[in-house]
A and B are shown apart, each in its own frame.
Chain A
């Protein structure tokens, strides 16, 4: 029970005290979104596109270095891309248009550019989002979304989910340990029934926990809104520091468009 923050959500955060860790969460969210927009806006078929991607990569890896995010953490962040890696590799084979010979394979020129562009853009955005998740606690991210005017009810649902994901995940883990210590081996259709019954029990437990949480909140005077203190004003300098990442990326994009 006292496992602390070892759950799935806590695993995304790398504790630290760097400049990047201390930035305001809502500004970091804006910065990562703006960076992704700049990356996405880069034209795929331009000749200077690879140079621009290299520039963006240098920027985001620089931010990761300042934040002291370990390389292994960045690599693990990239794992989510794997299904799209397959899609991007397929594009040059199935795309139409003029073909080129590469290592004896006839590949589509536009497909190569499109597949490569997709892969580069997805990788850069994933890297930026990984740096964000590694330097910001889940609770702080929810607070950031709140300051960005996400609807209050959605923020409440989100904060409950973040608060209890590790509790629910922990129950699931204990169920698995209990199953396996009784000799369960997950194979075949019979195993599905066992695992699904566990998942059903998990739903009942989660829902009942939600009811208990609600009653506990009512007894503490909950009326449908959570009290929040006034948000501190953010100095212009903080904006400038946080947005330096997307602004520099935008400068790289503009340079490519003007010179390329």
Chain B
């Protein structure tokens, strides 16, 4: 669900566009530091993965299904700056190829789903990672909490933007309550899916998970017993 054209007034759209452009410029710089010249193929393939997974409808129960937004999941998997680029590229493709999200609202959508969802999701994840035990369970719990929080926060930021630059005069508290309530439910689904996908990746290839760097143990192939490091250098 993306903001279409004409939903927010011109000043708000321009302001979010400037915020989005600044974020993407910074992310282009930082992602190059995360991935050096591998940035283009790896971020491109990760974006293709996000795009494909967003089209899968997971059965949630009671006859309903949901799909992943993927901001927090991508940030934990490949790092926050690369994740911003992946989400931006997915949003551009959806706007240009599927008319999903207006061209004039592209800045707003990048701000909400690229900056806010990724930033909040990854921020909560890092915070909890520092507090929780440094185990697989702690990693998954932190990622799940980040995914859960990212969805309603992005929805509330949208309500805030609507309050500043909305084109209709509606009681804000009602809109905030409705949007917040619905997105808490969506956030639960997002958290469950994020944890399940992440658990699968961590058990197969933990070395690929950017957020699991602290779980990596040094190789068991150490120096010969009885031989100290200084001696081996001689």
Contact = CB atoms under 8 A, between A and B. Distances in A.
A252 interface: no
Interface string A190-216: 011101110111111011011101100
B45 A213 contact: yes
B171 A161 contact: no
Interface string A57-77: 000000000000000000001
A105 to B, nearest CB: 17
Nearest to B203: A200
A210 B41 contact: yes
Interface residues of A, number: 84
B149 interface: no
B52 interface: yes
Contacts of A158: 44, 89, 92-93
B64 to A, nearest CB: 12
Contacts of A200: 196-201, 204
A157 B168 contact: no
Nearest to B205: A204
A126 B4 contact: yes
Interface stretch (A16-24, A35-43, A235-243): A35-43
B45 A199 contact: no
A240 B208 CA distance: 50
Interface residues of B, number: 68
Contact of A96 (B44, B169, B196): B169
Given A207-B42, A207-B208, A36 B48 contact: no
A111 B48 contact: no
Interface in A177-200: 186-189, 191-193, 195-197, 199-200
Interface stretch (B5-13, B113-121, B125-133): B5-13
Contacts of B37: 222-224
B44 A160 contact: yes
Given A36-B5, A168-B49, A133 B97 contact: yes
Contact of B169 (A110, A210, A217): A110
Contact of B40 (A145, A153, A168, A171): A153
B202 to A, nearest CB: 8
Contacts, number: 244
A188 B59 contact: yes
Interface in B156-196: 167-171, 174-175, 192-193, 196
A199 B10 contact: no
B95 A129 contact: yes
B167 to A, nearest CB: 6
B59 A36 contact: no
Interface in B43-75: 43-49, 51-53, 55-56, 58-59, 61
B95 A40 contact: no
Given A8-B55, A161-B90, A192-B58, A33 B104 contact: yes
Secondary structure call for the A interface? helix
Contacts of B102: 36, 122, 125-126, 129
Given A95-B168, A138-B97, A157-B43, A206 B48 contact: yes
A29 B96 contact: yes
A195 B200 CA distance: 10
A12 interface: yes
A16 to B, nearest CB: 17
A141 interface: yes
Given A96-B170, A193-B196, A83 B1 contact: yes
A132 B93 CA distance: 12
Interface of A: 8-9, 12, 29, 32-33, 36-37, 39-41, 44, 77, 80-81, 83-84, 91, 94-97, 110-111, 114-115, 117-118, 121-122, 125-126, 129-130, 132-133, 138, 141, 145, 151, 153-154, 156-165, 167-169, 171-172, 186-189, 191-193, 195-197, 199-204, 206-207, 209-211, 213-214, 217, 222-224
Closest 9 A-B residue pairs measured CB to CB? A160-B44, A200-B200, A196-B196, A121-B6, A210-B45, A114-B168, A129-B99, A125-B5, A156-B40
Given A111-B169, A161-B93, 20 more contacts: A33-B103, A41-B10, A95-B168, A111-B170, A115-B168, A118-B6, A122-B4, A130-B99, A132-B96, A133-B97, A138-B93, A153-B32, A157-B86, A158-B93, A191-B59, A196-B196, A200-B200, A202-B49, A203-B46, A203-B208
6 contacts: A121-B5, A121-B6, A151-B28, A154-B88, A202-B53, A210-B44
